[in-house]
Amino acid sequence: MEAVIYLLRFVFDAFLMILIMRFWLQWVKADFYNPLSQFIVKVSNPLVLPLRRVIPGLGGLDLATVVVAYIIATLKFVTLTALAGESLGVGLAFYIGLIVLVKQAGFMLFVIMIIMAIMSWVVQGYNPTLMIFHQLTEPFLNPIRRIIPNLGGLDLSMIVAFLAMNVINILLSGSLPYWSAL
């Protein structure tokens, strides 16, 4: 049974990451012709396009992608809870689905910033993936950079962002029931 739960978590998390990334790429107006952007769009189109006919965008943002991601986050928790033999109310399921979605987005931001830090040591010159990651993280790191100046070529904005994200993660985890293992 553990193998089934592991595989289900992987599938749900993979779909969530792709959908969050799709929304995020649109939000920051990232390079659409980048290979990573193309992959994300092509993989998520079968899930998003049917719902896009019903749910219009708002201010250039694709709300259909957010709705699909929210449904998948809620289904993840409902499915895993049902496999554990537990049951929960509809309201609690939707609440936990929202928390799962927010936590997954924060986890993705954390991973992308770690990858950016490692790639900055290794990659020389232009790299399309690093350029997309830079576009994705700028809305989060620029406000921090305005407050904390660059210290002799040392950018501390990622460290401050990591600290803030961990505080938010702790607060979100504290708002979940004790038996939910996200």
Domain extents in the chain: 2-174
Non-local CB neighbours of 132 within 8 Å, separated by 6+ positions: 25, 30, 31, 34, 36, 37
The pLDDT assigned to 69 comes to 94
Cα 80 to Cα 8, 77, 84, distances in angstroms: 8, 5, 6
Identify the segments of the chain with pLDDT beneath 50. Answer: 179
Whole-model pTM? 0.84
The pLDDT assigned to 38 comes to 92
Q: What is the pLDDT of residues 73-85, one digit of tens each?
A: 999 988 888 888 8
The pLDDT assigned to 172 comes to 82
Q: What is the pLDDT of residues 127-163, one digit of tens each?
A: 888 889 989 999 998 999 889 877 777 778 888 999 9
